A and B are shown apart, each in its own frame.
Chain A
Amino acid sequence: MIESMKSDAIRGPGRVPVRLKVNDREVELSVEPRTTLLDALRQELNLTGTKRVCDSGACGACTVLLDGEAVYSCMTLAITCEGRSVETIESLTGSSADAPALHPIQEAFIAEDGYQCGFCTPGQIMAAKSLLARNAAPSHEEIRRGMSGNLCRCGAYQKIFAAVGRAAHEMSGEG
């Protein structure tokens, strides 16, 4: 049990309990203050869909949604997510393991070949989700801008643009 914290309490440097919501589930982590959200997701919760690539906020592969906003989980301390809601790539898929229902953005990435090695893909998809939540019908330039915080070394950009455009179309009900 966590005692209710005094607001100016000094916590750590050892492991401290941190409560947050991950993919709609309440979880209690035991992490050091220095642990990043990325490492907490991958190493404490075994949610390995979110990838560590640059570990310095310079590639976008670790993008998750924090209270609905796309952020780099590698530059976010897990302890600062206390009481907040985190969505990772694993939240997008339906619950049935046999026939996971894919999110329209995921379907669009498959249909348009919006990936190659796939390592940046979870981050791309979370960035796309954030973009489409703000702008349901982005123009080509708006897609470029909205996706500009996610690098793809394989160079799938052209097809990522197409995938985001396709997903917008599908999600708007015009598909």
Chain B
Amino acid sequence: MKRFSFAAPGSAREAVRLLAENEDARLMAGGVDLGHEMKRGIRSPSLVVHLSRVARLDGITLNDGRLEIGALTKIQALESNEVVLEHAPLLAAAAREVATPQLRAMGTVAGNILQRPQCWYYRDPDSFCLRKGGKHCHAVAGDNRYHAILGGGPCHIVCPSDLAPALLALGASAVVTAPDETERTVPLSELFVGPGVDPHNEHVLAHGEVVTRLVLPSSAGLANAFLKARERTAWDFALSSVSALCDTGPDGAVRSARLVLGGVAPNPWDAAEAAESLVGRPLDDDAIGAAAAASVRGARPLRDNAYKVELTQRLVTKALERLRGD
């Protein structure tokens, strides 16, 4: 790890100012993901702005049927918090599948959704890949068993987060403080950006902008399921994950549904077409089969990862069967 200076400001405003004044300063929250990049020499900021002393950036509250989750809320808090369990059980389920007890105690919700890709070429300090400013995506000619099947190109990373797809499915927005101290609200559907638009960043936040909290509507009572396929039973990033949410009317017909995939595309992948296809009909086998097929429509697998197409379809099927109560 290269040397750096350190500051732990007492307010978000000061943090924003420090970032604005130092072009290669980086924010640190839980420190796990940035620490990992810094240890490998992938990023070497000259200043680390640590958020631990910033007050009121953590905590979970319910206001007018909307959940507000402080950006620095620890992932472990989402697992067992009563408000989350009642109003966003999908998020609690996703939080339980993140990493390990220690990492859930260290990592924050904002850090988790903004974590950098796990691509082994990106994480290799000796590999100067497209995402790091190089000319090529090394996954194309390399071993791409874990890379994107949807939305990839020219870079083929996948979204490593479990919370981001769940939050997107839940219709969450990020509240962001800008260097001029204004606040803006960015829906998660607009927060992430694919490599076709920007091969170097996974989100639209500018340098100096700080996510202070996430807001999302209550999904109390809606059927939901979070399923994650991985090589190892625990402590593993998703080969594919499905965040599914569904509102079913008294007649058994689906009124609305959300399906968001993780681990298969550079960003949380909103399988909107698949979710739409469910609306207005009961969750029967035909509907589930059609939605599963639609969820991976347009998939363009690389040499080594075609299995993820089938895996994702099966995971979607399983998730929808679970929503049905199987």
Q: Give A contacts to B, CB under 8 Å.
A: 7-14, 16, 32-34, 55-58, 60, 63, 69-72, 75-77, 79-80, 82, 127, 130-131, 145-146, 148-150
Contacts and interface: CB of A to CB of B under 8 A. Distances in A.
Nearest to A63: B102
B235 A33 contact: no
Contacts of A150: 100
B235 A11 contact: no
Contacts of A77: 6, 31, 35, 48, 50
Contacts of B5: 10-13, 33
In this complex, the member of A10, A55, A71 whose beta carbon has the largest number of chain B beta carbons within 10 angstroms is A10
Interface string B207-251: 000000000000000000000000000110000000000000000
Interface string B100-111: 111101100000
A127 B100 CA distance: 11
B31 A75 contact: yes
Contact of B100 (A14, A79, A82, A149): A149
Contacts, number: 104
B189 interface: no
Given A10-B5, A77-B48, 13 more contacts: A8-B14, A11-B5, A13-B46, A32-B3, A34-B38, A57-B35, A63-B102, A70-B101, A70-B102, A80-B50, A80-B52, A82-B8, A127-B102
A76 B101 contact: no
Contact of B9 (A7, A32, A33, A79): A7
Interface of B: 1-11, 14, 17-18, 28, 31-32, 35-36, 38-39, 46-48, 50, 52-53, 99-103, 105-106, 234-235
A151 B99 CA distance: 13
A75 B35 contact: yes
Given A34-B1, A77-B31, A146-B101, A9 B36 contact: no
5 contacts: A11-B6, A34-B1, A34-B38, A56-B39, A148-B234
A78 to B, nearest CB: 10
A12, A58, A82 — most chain B CB neighbours (10 Å): A12
A150 B99 CA distance: 11
A145 B76 CA distance: 13
Contacts of A130: 101
B9 A76 contact: no
A10 B47 contact: yes
A13 B48 CA distance: 10
Contacts of A34: 1-4, 38
Contacts of A14: 3
A7 B36 contact: no
A55 B105 contact: no
A69 B4 contact: no
Nearest to B30: A75
B109 to A, nearest CB: 16
Given A33-B48, A70-B101, A127-B101, A76 B106 contact: yes
A75 B106 contact: yes
Report which residue of B52, B101, B105 has the largest number of chain A beta carbons within 10 angstroms of its beta carbon.
Answer: B101
A72 B14 contact: no
Nearest to B100: A149
Nearest to B17: A8
A12 B102 contact: no
Contact of B4 (A7, A12, A127): A12
A33 B35 CA distance: 12
A75 B3 contact: no
Given A55-B39, A69-B105, A148 B7 contact: no
A89 to B, nearest CB: 15
A88 B14 CA distance: 34
Contacts of A131: 101
B18 A149 contact: no
B124 to A, nearest CB: 13
B6 A79 contact: yes
Given A10-B7, A12-B5, A80-B52, A75 B100 contact: no
A7 B53 contact: yes
A79 to B, nearest CB: 5
A8 B9 contact: yes
Contacts of A63: 102
Given A33-B4, A55-B39, A57-B32, A148 B10 contact: no
A13 B14 CA distance: 20
A13 B4 contact: yes
B134 to A, nearest CB: 23
B102 A149 contact: yes
